[in-house]
Homo-oligomer: A and B are copies of this chain.
Amino acid sequence: MLDQKKLIVKKFGGTSVGTLERIENVATRVVRDREKLGQLPVIVVSAMSGETNRLIRLANDLDPGYRGPAYDMLLASGEQVAVALLAIALEKRGVKAAPLLAYQVGIQTDAIFSKARIRSINADKIIQLVEQGVVPVVAGFQGITDDAQITTLGRGGSDTTAVALAAALGGSECEIYTDVPAVFSADPRLVTKARELNRITFEEMMEMASVGSKVLHFRSVEIAAKYNIKIHSRSSFEEREGTWVMSEENMLENPVVSSVTHDPATVVIKLNPVPAGAEFLADLFGRLAEKNIVVDIITQSGSDRPDRQRLHFSIPEEDLVQTEKVLHTVLDSETEVTVMRDMAKISVIGVGMKNHPGVAARFFKVFKEHDVDVHLVTTSDIKISAVVAKNQLKEVAEALHTEFDLDV
C-alpha cells in the first residue's frame, strides 16, 4: 500500500521549465527530494515559458476569430513537449518516469473549449505507477471531453490540474513552483514595503486571484478549499519555503487585512440617465456578457426623474472597444456616456475583517488624507475595493499598506 503522507503533487510553471537547463534543475530537485525525504512525487508541468504565447500567435495569425477544438489541441501541444522533456531528464538521472497526457490519465472536463472545467480524474493509473516506483509526469492545463477531444483550462490552468490531481489522489498538500518566492502582501513593484506572507487563507487567495493577482489560478484555490488541500506556493529557484494557502481553521490568528492588491487597467463608464428598472440592466449586462466582457463593479442610483436612473460600472481596459459597440446598440441619444480611462482598482483583503468592524472607516480615511477621489466602491465579507485614478494608485496603495500594518 502507498504511504499517503509521502505522496505529493508538485507543479512546475512555465518559467520553472523555461529552458533545458531549468528542466535539468527541476529533475535534480525532484530526484533529491524523493531520495532525501522519501517523497512519492507526482509531477505536473506547464508549457515552457513563451511557448503558449507562440502557439496562440500562430492560431491568431491564421484566424483571430477561431476558438474551438483545434485551438485547444494546438495549445495542449506545449505541455506535451514539457512533459516529455522532463521525463527524459528524470530518466537520465536513473529514475523511471512516465510522461502522461490528459487522455492517458483520464482528466475529464466539460466541453467548454479554452476554459474547460475538470469534472473528474481517474487516479488509478497514477497510483499504480507510483506503486511501481515510477514518477508520473502529467501535462497540466489540458483535459479531455467525453468524446475524447482535447480541452484546455484557461490561463494558469496547470495549477488547477495539480490541485485537482492532489484531491483525486486523496492527498492533503500540493506544491506549486513558480518564479516568485512567495505570495506578497502587495505587488512589490508598486508597494516598496511589500512583504512575503507565510500563510494566507483560501478565501483571501480567491479574492486576490479575482482582483488580478496572478499568483494562482482562481479555480485551483476553489478546489483546494473544497477538498482542504494545502497549497504551498514557492520558488523553483530557491530552497526556502514560500506561502502556505490553507483553511482558516489551520491558522491561529488572522490579521485584519492580509494584503493590498490592485488591478491597473480599469475603465469606469458612467451612464446618465438610463431607463429605471431591472429590465434595462438585464438587457445591457446580458449583451455585455454575450461578448465575454466581465463587468466588475456596478453601482446604480436614482436620478431626478422617477423613470430614470444613473448607472456606473467598471470593465477591463481591453474590453473598452467592444463595450462601446454594445452601448451604441442599447442607448439612445438621451443618455450621456462618460468614459473614464486610466483608472485602477485597489483592494484590501483579509478574513480578519469579518470580526473587526471599522475597516471601511480606516480604508476611506486613507483616501481622504491623501485627497484621492473614489469613483466606485464595492465590498464583500473580506474585501473592500475602490476605483481611483491610475496616477494616484501607488500613493494610496502604499498608504493603505502602512495603515493596515503590512509594511516590512
A residues sitting closer than 8 Å to B (CB atoms) are 20, 23-24, 55, 58-59, 61-63, 66, 68-71, 73-74, 76-77, 80-81, 83-85, 87-89, 91-92, 97-99, 101, 103-104, 148-150
Q: Is the CB of A85 within 8 A of B99?
A: no
Given contacts A77-B77, A148-B104, contact A63 B91 (CB under 8 A): yes
Cβ contact of A80, chosen from B61, B69, B77, B88, cutoff 8 A: B77
The chain B residue sitting closest to A60, CB to CB, is B88
Give the docked Cα–Cα distance between A59 and B89 (Å): 9
Give the docked Cα–Cα distance between A63 and B71 (Å): 31
Which 9 A-B residue pairings sit nearest by Cβ, starting from the closest? Answer: A74-B84, A70-B87, A63-B92, A77-B77, A73-B84, A70-B84, A77-B80, A70-B99, A70-B88
Known: A66-B88, A71-B88, A73-B87; 7 extra A-B contacts, CB below 8 A, are A20-B58, A23-B62, A66-B92, A69-B87, A74-B81, A74-B85, A77-B77
What is the CB-to-nearest-CB distance from A61 to chain B, in angstroms, rounded to a whole number? 5
Q: Is the CB of B73 within 8 A of A101?
A: yes
What is the CB-to-nearest-CB distance from A76 to chain B, in angstroms, rounded to a whole number? 7
Q: Is the CB of A77 within 8 A of B88?
A: no
Q: Is the CB of A62 within 8 A of B77?
A: no
The chain B residue sitting closest to A104, CB to CB, is B148
Which B residues are in CB contact (< 8 Å) with A99? 69-70, 73
Give the docked Cα–Cα distance between A98 and B149 (Å): 10
Give the docked Cα–Cα distance between A148 and B129 (Å): 14
What is the CB-to-nearest-CB distance from A286 to chain B, in angstroms, rounded to a whole number? 27
The chain B residue sitting closest to A81, CB to CB, is B77
Cβ contact of A91, chosen from B20, B70, B84, B103, cutoff 8 A: B70
Q: Is the CB of A66 within 8 A of B91?
A: yes
Chosen A-B contacts, 24 in total, with CB atoms closer than 8 Å, are: A20-B61, A20-B62, A23-B62, A58-B81, A59-B88, A62-B85, A62-B88, A62-B89, A62-B92, A63-B88, A68-B91, A69-B87, A69-B98, A69-B99, A70-B83, A70-B85, A71-B88, A73-B80, A73-B83, A73-B99, A74-B85, A74-B88, A77-B80, A104-B148
Which B residues are in CB contact (< 8 Å) with A73? 80, 83-84, 87, 99, 101
Which B residues are in CB contact (< 8 Å) with A76? 80
Give the docked Cα–Cα distance between A23 and B55 (Å): 15
Give the docked Cα–Cα distance between A149 and B97 (Å): 13
Which B residues are in CB contact (< 8 Å) with A69? 87, 98-99
Most buried by B among A61, A68, A73: A73
The chain B residue sitting closest to A98, CB to CB, is B69
Cβ contact of A103, chosen from B24, B84, B148, cutoff 8 A: B148
The chain B residue sitting closest to A61, CB to CB, is B20
Give the docked Cα–Cα distance between A103 and B80 (Å): 14
What is the CB-to-nearest-CB distance from A185 to chain B, in angstroms, rounded to a whole number? 39
Which B residues are in CB contact (< 8 Å) with A85? 58-59, 62, 70, 74
Give the docked Cα–Cα distance between A55 and B85 (Å): 10
Give the docked Cα–Cα distance between A119 and B24 (Å): 36
Which B residues are in CB contact (< 8 Å) with A24? 62
Give the docked Cα–Cα distance between A69 and B101 (Å): 12
The chain B residue sitting closest to A74, CB to CB, is B84
The chain B residue sitting closest to A92, CB to CB, is B63
Which B residues are in CB contact (< 8 Å) with A63? 88-89, 91-92
Give the docked Cα–Cα distance between A348 and B149 (Å): 49
What is the CB-to-nearest-CB distance from A102 to chain B, in angstroms, rounded to a whole number? 11
What is the CB-to-nearest-CB distance from A86 to chain B, in angstroms, rounded to a whole number? 8
The chain B residue sitting closest to A73, CB to CB, is B84
What is the CB-to-nearest-CB distance from A309 to chain B, in angstroms, rounded to a whole number? 43
Which B residues are in CB contact (< 8 Å) with A104? 148-149
Q: Is the CB of A70 within 8 A of B92?
A: no
Give the docked Cα–Cα distance between A278 and B55 (Å): 57
Which B residues are in CB contact (< 8 Å) with A71? 84, 88
